[in-house]
Amino acid sequence: MPEVVALGEPLVQFNAVTTGPLRHVTYFEKHATGSEANVCVALVRLGVSCGLITRLGLDEFGLFIYNWLRGEGVDVSRIKFDPERPTGIYFVQRGYPLPGVSDVVYYRRGSAASALSPGDVDAEYIGGARVFHTSGITLAISESARDAAFRAMEVARSRNVLVSFDVNYRRKLWAREGDAVGVLTKALGFVDILFLDSDEARLLLGVSEPGDVFREVSARFGIGKVVLKLGVKGSIVYWDGKVARADAFRVPVVDPIGAGDAYAGVLLASVLRGLPIEQAVVRASAAAAMVVMTRGDEENLPREEDLERFLSGYGRQVDFR
């Protein structure tokens, strides 16, 4: 049984090879992505086993993702193929109008993963893990996927499996902001380890200062492990009464998509391996920086030796600070 089980939609990403508006882009590069799949790959690259519960279309893109995840060592035994529905895809516009910032265009409505339902939630499988991970994206893609995510969180809680949740608010996936606030707030009631950024904190809690965010989530939802991502200002983590911070590593940004998943996956891998939280946040921050240096969300996810080389060599030959 894997140490971590995740639930969510993998997607094929078509990333613009050149920057600028998509209407002028001719070449796209194909990548296996999707938030929870990214977290799984981040974990297995650091030696922590992870299984993904999902559905893929029985099509070329579904096979591509399946083979990629299997090749990376993710447990694919709970992935189902749907011959009726397609695998979700999306396009990435890079560096326009803002340098270093990307935009996404989704083609995922009615995808195979949007048909995820509570029937896909294998309680024994989740019950055998140490951590269950999902995100606000899974809560947004369809009602049945949302039900599956809530069911999986309930199962995890009832079996003493820690629930890790990344708010991952994606405005384009919700009809109304108010719907998102209602559903995401309900989810916080199931969470043990919470990842969110300042905008998401403002949206869900009405506060964004680190001390206020921690106070709110701990008083209202009893969450004791909170990771607040502050973009270029780094991150601050409240972990069972301890506070740890990490600066953001300054690197040339090719595409920032996937940074949050790299952070979450590497932080989880590090704490599951028994590293102190102060070390885990620095490693997570380094992994996020590594991922934004290239197109695609998973290619630059570090193995242990890559992480060590980054941390020991950062700023020595080229100073981006």
State the residues that interact with ligand KDG by CB under 6 A.
11, 13, 33-35, 38, 137, 170, 257-258, 260-261, 297
Question: Which residues, 6+ apart, have CB-to-CB distance to 273 below 8 Å?
Answer: 46, 47, 48
CB of 173 to ligand KDG, least distance (A): 7
Distance (Å) of CA 71 to CA 22, 32, 68, 167, 311: 31, 12, 5, 28, 27
Q: Is 226 helix (H, G, I), strand (E, B) or coil?
A: strand
Smallest separation (angstroms) from ligand KDG to the CB of 20: 20
Task: Tell me the closest approach of the beta carbon of residue 211 to ligand KDG, in angstroms.
Answer: 27
CA dist., res. 310 & res. 305, Å (int): 9
Q: Where are the alpha helices (DSSP H) in 122-209?
A: 123-127, 136-141, 143-158, 177-188, 198-205
User: In angstroms, what is the minimal distance from the CB of 92 to ligand KDG?
Assistant: 9
Of 214 and 264, the one with the shorter C-beta distance to ligand KDG is: 264
User: Which residue's Cβ lies closest to ligand KDG?
Assistant: 33
What is the Cα gyration radius of the chain?
Answer: 18
**CB of 89 closer than 8 Å to CB of 12:** yes
Nearer to ligand KDG (CB atom), residue 150 or residue 195 = 195
CB of 12: closest distance to ligand KDG in angstroms? Answer: 10
* Residues 125, 7, 189, 165, CA torsion sign: positive
What's the token pair of residue 126?
């989740």
Q: Does residue 256 sit in helix, strand or coil?
A: coil
8 Å CB contact between 89 and 107: yes
> Which of 191, 51, 47 minimizes the C-alpha distance to 127?
51
Residues involved in catalysis: 261
Minimum CB separation from ligand KDG for residue 135, in Å?
8
The terminus-to-terminus CA distance of the chain in angstroms comes to 43
Report the alpha-carbon distance of residue 232 to residue 235 in Å, rounded.
Answer: 9
Residue closer to ligand KDG by CB (options 12, 282) is 12
